Amino acid sequence: MYKLKYSKRHPHIFQYKAKSGIIWGYRLSYYDELHNRHEKQKRGFESENDANRAMLADQAKLASNDVNLVKNQNITVQQYIKIYMDNHKNNIKKSTSVSYWTAFNKHIIPAIGNIKLSNLNKINYTSKLINPMVEKGYKRNTILSCHNRMMTIMYDAVDNEFIDRNKISHVQIPDTGKEQKRIMTKVELNKFNAQLNHESLLTQVIMYTLEQTGMRQGELCGLQWHDIDFNKLTISINRTRDYNGVRSPKTKDSKRTINISKQLASLLKKYRLKVSQQFIQKGIKFDDTTFVLQSEYLNPLVNTGISLRLRNTLKRADLGYLVGSFTAHTFRHMYASFLLNSGVPVSEVSASLGHSSPQMTLSVYTERNPENDVNLADKFNELW
């Protein structure tokens, strides 16, 4: 262990011999608001003056009652992430929590988790997290998503007096491009549907429902049989479901009722009969609260099952070049775009999508403003 030798000029400053030469540090005692004694120690300075300047900066913070800034200077990024997530676990949805932890565990913690929060700045943040993600080929949206998570962490740390300011607030995220998503042309859609008619009944129900309603795939997975009114030809969106479980829809406007065509209603009836018979054969209870989409093992289907069926159908329809650029969510874009281009009022399309306003719809789907008032279910059904 290195022997410490204290400075005669500055009583709190010390030096010690290391392999790299003489290293300087400081020790500073202080008391918090409860009169508990603490000691702050920091090493690694190249000169006595550098160590003294750092100590004086801490003394200034203590003099202005910023005790927390001094006391919490050793908290790492990883430690504060846990503090933040523990403090907010009851304020965010489970799906949001999973999304945050995915970004933290996959990208942020491995790259900068061991850096002290107070030492995180534009230089080490960019060199250790942002630039490596760019070099690995991540798209801008993915990098920006991680950056936004870190911005949330940093501003929360400022609010809770763990750091005095957010030093990464002006970091620029480079434009690495983004994966091009596109809807099908009508020719491609007809080709897709021609193949779809040769697919399983479950696959037909999934794809035609997404095509003709514009609902989110999580909303489709959350459908129960009592949500479908075969007499009124409507589907009510009351919940969403994925591998994290069942929860309320994305926004309050997402709770809505959608018109469906007679053809889709007929397909759903056929599927209900088949599934109910399978449940009875297995001795499993089947009623109106049963989830509509069921796997071959009679388990409620989740998003991954939808994506796999879409990918396989695209390939069998000789549309394999669309895999990756056309996803289950792209059905929603296609639904809106086709209707808007066919003359359906923006307000009608917006309500069907569960948007809070027509302005939101137009901000996502930059199509020309339609004029003709046409029933959505009938209008969209004309496409087939």
How does pLDDT run across 67-120, given as a tens digit for each residue? Answer: 454 456 778 999 999 989 988 888 777 778 888 999 999 999 999 999 999 899
Rounded CA-CA distance 204/193 in Å is 9
Are 249 and 255 in contact by the 8 Å Cβ rule? The answer is yes
Nearest to 7 by CA among 50, 40, 37, 38: 50
Q: Is 80 exceeded by the pLDDT of residue 252?
A: no
Give the pLDDT band of residue 298 (cuts 50, 70, 90). very high
- The model's pTM: 0.55
Residue with tokens 């760019």, as numbered in its chain: 134
Other CB atoms within a 10 A radius of the CB of residue 169 amount to 11
Pick the more confident residue, 374 or 81. Answer: 81
Looking at residue 4, its pLDDT comes to 84
Q: How far is CA 319 from CA 195, 208, 331, in A?
A: 10, 17, 15
Quick one: pLDDT at residue 57?
A: 79
- pLDDT tens, residue by residue, 150-174: 999 998 888 887 888 899 988 988 8
The pLDDT value given to residue 233: 95
Q: In what order do the strands lie in the sheet with 256-259?
A: 228-229, 234-237, 256-259
- Mean pLDDT of the 330-341 span: 84
pLDDT over 70 (residue 379)? no
Which range scores top for mean pLDDT: 10-14, 154-158, 243-247, 376-380? 154-158
Cβ proximity of 16 and 23 under 8 Å: yes
Q: Give the least confident one: 156-160, 164-168, 314-318, 351-355.
A: 351-355
Check whether 180 has a pLDDT greater than 50: yes
Average pLDDT of the chain is 83
Q: Who has greater pLDDT, 352 or 210?
A: 210
CA dist., res. 240 & res. 223, Å (int): 8
Interval 227-249: pLDDT, tens: 999 999 999 999 998 877 888 87
**What whole-number distance in Å separates Cα of residue 234 and Cα of residue 218?**
18
Predicted confidence band of residue 205 (pLDDT cuts 50, 70, 90): very high
User: By percentage, how much of the chain surpasses pLDDT 90?
Assistant: 39
Q: How confident is the model at residue 302 (pLDDT cuts 50, 70, 90)?
A: confident
Structure tokens at 343: 């003359």
Q: What is the pLDDT of residues 261-283, one digit of tens each?
A: 999 999 999 999 999 999 999 99
Structure-model confidence comparison of residues 379 and 108, the more confident one = 108
257: which strand partners? 236
Residue 3: predicted pLDDT:
79
Report d(CA 262, CA 140) in Å as an integer.
43
Q: Percent of the chain, pLDDT > 70?
A: 85
Average pLDDT over residues 351-370: 60
Please say if the pLDDT value at position 192 is more than 90: yes
Domains and CATH numbers, the chain: 5-71 (no CATH), 77-159 (1.10.150), 186-381 (1.10.443.10)
Look at 207 and 49; give whichever has higher pLDDT. Answer: 207
What band does 362 get if pLDDT is binned at 50, 70 and 90? Answer: low
pLDDT at 278: 95
Q: Choose from 23-37, 219-233, 300-314 the range with maximum mean pLDDT.
A: 219-233
